[in-house]
Amino acid sequence: MESAAVERLADAGSEVELPAGQVIIEPGQQGLGLFVIRAGTVQIDAHWGVRELGPGAVFGGRALRAPHGERTARVHAKTDVRLVAVDRATVERLCADDPTVAGCLELD
């Protein structure tokens, strides 16, 4: 996603800091929004494999596209992280207003 679109998402959310090892998402949880990584690294463990993401990456959008909105992967903080949480309603509004932000749902 373009960095300007990531910034629009980040500007619309709430910042949270989590310690290394903290579980952020569990499979089966309801997807209430997505996350933008400001600092640190997260690890995604999914049926398709393991992936690490760092600053500027967006994760959690897949559940917003799923029929029942359920999370499909486990995500934990590999290092201390600073994230911006963006709720579903805000994501939907931003995606409707700006096609470049809609790309957030194509990630993860």
Beta bridge partners of 107: none
Tell whether the model's pLDDT for residue 70 goes beyond 90: no
Mean pLDDT value of segment 26-35: 83
Tell me the residue type at 32: L
The domain locations on the chain are 3-106
Which pairing describes strands 33-39 and 23-25: parallel, antiparallel, or unpaired?
unpaired
CATH dotted code for 3-106: 2.60.120.10
User: What's the pLDDT band for 37 if we cut at 50, 70, 90?
Assistant: very high
- The overall average pLDDT reported for the chain is 85
Beta bridge partners of 82: 17, 39
- Spatial separation of the C-alpha atoms in residues 43 and 21, rounded to whole Å: 10
pLDDT value of residue 107:
46
Tell whether the model's pLDDT for residue 103 goes beyond 60: yes
Write the pLDDT tens digit of every residue in 39-51: 999 999 998 899 9
